[in-house]
Structure 1
Amino acid sequence: MGSLRDVLPGRVYVDCSSCKRSGRYSVASLRERFGPDVSTLDILRILTASCRYQRPPGSPPARKYEHLCLAAITLPPPARPTTPVPPGVPFTIEVWKETGGCVEAQLAVIYPIAMARAAFETACELWPKHEVTLRDRCRIVARRERPEPPASAESAAAPPP
């Protein structure tokens, strides 16, 4: 767990199922009381210090039928980074197995069609023996077929019967 400085503004919930205690605290008030550099684990220990089942740090483990403090701290959810996504549907470039049958690798998911076509041409150069497709969801926009295997020298040299 990190420090209180890393927690986003909101409510912090502390619940103990052993003694049925619960509490709600704002992050701002906890920062004022304890400072921004205190760890969230220390906050949990401080706020549950009066629990009769709380064990001091370094104490021996609880015995089989001895109660334990089961306090848990619930922090505000972290902010999800908003990645800018261009409008429209992405294009997918796939390389198929050399023998055919299934996709070996999905190389890229690209938004503008011009960049997708350029990446498709590059993939065709890098995988000359494979089938390469450029897709818009399930619709194939461009496809480079797998080249036919060259006729073997033995079958060309053998005289017809």
Structure 2
Amino acid sequence: MKTRVAYFGVFTALALIFSYVESLIPFQIGIPGVKLGLANLIIVIALYKMSLREAYLLSVTRVVLAGLIFGSMFSILYSLAGALLSLTVMALLKKSGGFSILGVSIAGGVMHNVGQLIVAMFVVQTFSVSYYIPVLLIAGLITGLVIGIAADSMLRRLTGITLN
């Protein structure tokens, strides 16, 4: 039990550090709101190393803490929607057994952006923001692939750690 709590603390700290590092990187590709999502690397690893309940708890903890430290209530709302939809889809695809970690991560990246766009539609009370869907789908695909490659590489090195 103590080991699980310690790992949870380490994963939370890593996710917050990655959120902070990402806030320092001037990653501007001309598309508002598009980020690499470095902290999602920790969530993908948690999905494969922790129970699903713990992965959800870690995801929510990361979003709320990062939002309070580096963002705002709106950033928490958007990030939470994206994170929960993303993790749900990734968990379903992982459970199906038909997808590699790259496929799972790509779907997570895409769904994270879809979740945020759905919240944006409710906030602005119009579907006119849907024009942004193609850009966000491509961005989610690319960032999900990058995170998936990194997660796959890290998981190969973490073979001795099992928390499930």
Report the TM-score when normalising by structure 2: 0.23
Higher relative contact order (CA 8 A, sep 6+): 2
Which has the larger share of helix?
2
Which has the larger share of strand?
1
